[in-house]
Structure 1
């Protein structure tokens, strides 16, 4: 029997817990001196499916010349109806049902890219298996928070830490 596919959040955050500034800029993040690609390629090889929110998708389309995830199955959650493209499928179905169907398929892990709204929905439904958060030594003061304020309690176990020059990667597994 094959191993269950995990939902893994792999994301960078400021020290004070923001994933972007209020105007959706990542300028603060790119100012930090990392090491190589800060573990991205290693992580990217462990996944074959990507899930992201519409705001994250819009940012990628606006800021990156070529769609970076062409070799992966990519889903974009949205509240509106959009025509699928050659690179992504737009979805708005029940998250729990959708993820359970994805997990039944053969394959590698599933990357939950972001953003904060979608992550919150996944946390509320207890769908995230691992959190890999790379912390930048920057305090931006306000912006788009990694975690929304909620009453949902998630207990984690630390799997490991790594440094990539000025970045620190924290790898947690959800205790079940």
Structure 2
């Protein structure tokens, strides 16, 4: 039997745990001095599939210039609507857990949770996340979109390593089973 693929959350957050300001702005993040691409390219090579929620997809479409940023990866967007697939994206309105487990059981590299607080909440609650790579920005923004929603769930983690990229600190955890 082959090894299951890992579902990895790779994301940046403010020191007080927000992934975006209330207006969805990431300006606070871009104001921090990093180093190169802060490990992004290295991580990106470890994945062949990206998944995200519809709000995150819409944000990317609004803010990215040029071509779709995940063109060379399989990309799934979870949505409650029926939307026709594009050349780059497969829109999924089936059960998040069953679709994700199907993907995890396929051959391949890691699966990256690009974003979506709602979607991440499902993954955490259902204990589907295998690793968390969190890059912390030395900024406190006070309010915004939280990385983790409140709920009656708990994930126990094991620290795999830390790295710094100038002012950023990357924390790499595996989720205990």
| TM range, smaller chain | over 0.9
CA distance in 2, matches of 1:93, 1:80: 10
Contact 2:135 2:171 (8 Å CA) reproduced: yes
Cα distance per residue 1:76-114 (max 9 Å; x no partner): 011111111101011011112101111221110100111
The answer for unaligned runs of 5 or more in structure 2 is none
Whether contact under 8 Å (2:4, 2:106) holds in the other structure is no
Q: Matched residues in 1 for 2:13 and 2:104: separation?
A: 27
CA distance in 2, matches of 1:164, 1:3: 31
CA distance in 2 between partners of 1:36 and 1:143 (Å) = 27
* Partner Cα separation in structure 1 for residue 82 and residue 144 of structure 2: 27
Q: Mapping of 1:29-44 within 5 angstroms? A: 29-44=29-44
Give the TM-score of the pair, scaled to structure 1.
Answer: 0.98
Distance across 2 between alignment mates of 1:117 and 1:96: 13
Map of 2:168 onto structure 1: 167
Cα distance between partner residues in 2 of 1:117 and 1:83: 22
Q: Distance in 1 between matches of 2:36 and 2:60?
A: 21
User: Partner of 1:145 in structure 2?
Assistant: 146
Q: Which residue of 1 aligns with 2:158?
A: 157
- In structure 1, the gaps of 5 or more residues are none
Number of equivalent positions: 176
> Which residue number corresponds to residue 7 of structure 1?
7
Partner of 1:104: 105
CA distance in 2 between counterparts of 1:93 and 1:128 reads 19
Q: Secondary structure at the match of 1:123?
A: helix
Question: Distance in 2 between the 1:115 and 1:30 partners?
Answer: 19
Runs of 4+, deviation exceeding 4 Å:
none
Instruction: Tell me the secondary structure at the aligned position of residue 68 of structure 2.
Output: coil
1:85 aligns with 2:82: no
Shift of 1:4: 1.3
Distance 1:88 1:32 in 2: 31
Deviation, structure 1 residue 3: 2.1
